[in-house]
Structure 1
């Protein structure tokens, strides 16, 4: 994720960070307004807050998300990216292209493609950013029903599809436990001698 955000321009970085840390869909990123961002500040630094996902924008039409409005916590990494948003117009779009204009229907996809190539990554799509957010929440131990609400999934079964990616984490945990057990067994046999 770091490579994508480092390779992105400042305008692109904000848009991609919204997807990577708040799990918004591209149509939700396109519709996000300044009034939808509530930052929490500590000692003059943005450290968290909430995003209100009220609408999406597809093919020039604004619509309410299928699961209704939702609140998504703002991670510290995203809060730092949002630090200057409070100086922007309340009705202005939060995620804009390099010209300062709202993203068009395919603009985020095309911008991501360019940044992905600059970062030297193959096989990624803009939706990988949302996937990253959702799996990060699950890895952090956020209950699956809470992740469902944050992601805006209508059905729990959709959210549970992301859980299978965590099997890699479980397999790695199994390998670590096995190594630790071997080390403990070796230490015990050496101690007996």
Structure 2
């Protein structure tokens, strides 16, 4: 069985039914390109996988002037590992030498948590296109992933029940269902989008007529078509090191700071493992530090003589 045949069968049986189907499709194209679609699975060894990793990590990341992140390379390698495992266990394909996959996984840094400050948010909204502001504001309030925000449909929203239903990435076929409550502020924002489009919630106003699109009409956002306007707004607002995904971090950190309940944030973000949510614990630590500092300052022995001195002077 060739690599291309294995990837095609894996797509038919597994990947196309996953929530991450589009990502898997792109990864399969890269595997075919960098390893060779006609190469037999039995010919792919540790050496071939190592060469793939070296080539992949030397490529440029999309929309950035940097190399792809280690985690991105690892996702490609892990897909290849899943295909190999299925070929061996399910399809009973004759394989070559056993591959030690642990040798090819790159070390990934802990995911940083970048929170948008109130001052940065105010500046960003001043420079964002008016039709993009609701989408970004909603993302900051709801903490939803980019794909869930830009492709949010009215069918997913039940204003009467006050709930948004969406699919999350999961190993389960078709993804995992996640529900999110609608707050009063989110309800107002959503209500203001009614009538713009019959299917999608967040849309943009076309600035120039082209092909089937007419100037002044509203259309749903494509996967990447909004990115230039987003980048332009960040540059104009002089905001550095902030990605759209950081709106999710911002929502999580603010919710944790307000509630002090990590379990609540886990449910809001749809994490299955609370250890994933624990990266936001710094928000609680900051509040605890501030409270402890204030308490110790008020009850410090150094403060008491000063208070007594003021009383004597007043007397």
Deviations 1:96-132 (A, max 9, x none): 2343222222234433222211222111111121111
Q: Which moved more, 1:147-156 or 1:30-39?
A: 30-39
5+ residue gaps, structure 1, are 41-48, 58-62
Gap change, CA 1:142 and 1:5, over 3 Å in 2:
farther
SS at match of 2:219: coil
> When the two structures are superposed, what TM-score results if normalisation uses the length of structure 2?
0.48
Are 1:3 and 2:123 matched, yes or no? yes
Runs of 4+ that moved beyond 4 A: none
Evaluate the alpha carbon distance shift between residue 191 and residue 53 of structure 1 in structure 2; reply closer, same or farther with a 3 A threshold: same
Aligned length: 177
CA distance 1:190–1:126, change in 2 (3 Å): same
**Alpha-carbon separation, structure 1, partners of 2:269 and 2:224:** 21
Larger Rg: 2
- Contact kept, 8 Å, 1:30 with 1:103, in 2: the verdict is yes
**TM superposition shift of 1:134:** 0.6
Please say if 1:17 is aligned against 2:129. no
Task: Return the match for 1:50 from 162, 169, 174.
Answer: 162
Change (3 A) 1:125 1:141: same
Corresponding residue for residue 202 of structure 2: 95
Gaps of 5+ in 2: 1-120, 207-217
Contact 1:17 1:78 in 2 (8 A): no
Q: Secondary structure at the match of 1:101?
A: strand
**Aligned Cα RMSD in Å?**
3.0
2:249 is matched with which residue: 131, 135, 152? Answer: 131
Q: Are 2:260 and 2:284, in contact at CA under 8 Å, matched by a contact in 1?
A: no
Q: Please give the alpha-carbon distance, in whole angstroms, between the structure 2 residues aligned to 1:76 and 1:87.
A: 20
Q: 1:141 aligns with which of 253, 256, 259?
A: 259
Q: CA deviation at 1:145?
A: 2.1
Residue pairs, 1:1-193, within 5 angstroms: 1-39=121-159, 50-55=162-167, 66=175, 68-89=176-197, 91-99=198-206, 100-141=218-259, 143-182=261-300, 185-186=304-305, 188-190=307-309, 193=312
Higher share in strand: 1
Note if contact 2:168-2:177 (Cα within 8 Å) is conserved in structure 1. Answer: no
